[in-house]
Amino acid sequence: MKFPRNARILRSPFDMAPFAAVFFLLVIFVMLAGLIPVPGIRLQPPRADNLPGVDSPHVAVAVDASGRYYFENEMVSSNRLKARLVTDVKLSHKPLTLIIHADKSVTYDQLVTLTLLASSAGIHDALLATLPGPATAPAQP
């Protein structure tokens, strides 16, 4: 038995209006997503090139322009920071390295104070976190 065919090939012109509307909605969404504030503190670390990294266990402390300390995503006082560093040193099997994420405007006195605080907690190595320098073109021979 032969069945009649009711399927027809689409022969209407392709309409771009729905695709353009979706594209413009996506563009607007991406532009508005850039305006959403990101949680955290604003730091402007200094720039430097060719500095070594850390392959040993480490702890990170951030210092903002007004000298406040941030440890594990929360603002802490110097006494609380020392207590938490002491507990981290006790829990670690290897010597820890302190990585300081400091703003450009942090004074040398504040960095020395933080380093001495970490030293009294049992952390004797400290490094300053920096941003990589601007990319330069390789020299032509």
Nearest alpha-carbon partner for 62 in 116, 3, 134, 111: 111
Instruction: Please give the residue range of the domain that contains residue 100.
Output: 54-132
Within-domain flag for 118: yes
Within-domain flag for 123: yes
Please report the pLDDT score of residue 84 as a whole number. Answer: 93
Count how many domains the chain has. Answer: 1
Overall average pLDDT of the 59-70 stretch: 90
Query: Is pLDDT of 78 > 80?
Result: yes
User: Rounded to the nearest 5 degrees, what angle is found at the Cα of 121, between the Cα atoms of 116 and 127?
Assistant: 55
Q: Cα–chain-centroid distance for residue 8?
A: 56
Within-domain flag for 125: yes
User: Rounded to the nearest 5 degrees, what angle is found at the Cα of 51, between the Cα atoms of 62 and 123?
Assistant: 45
Within-domain flag for 86: yes
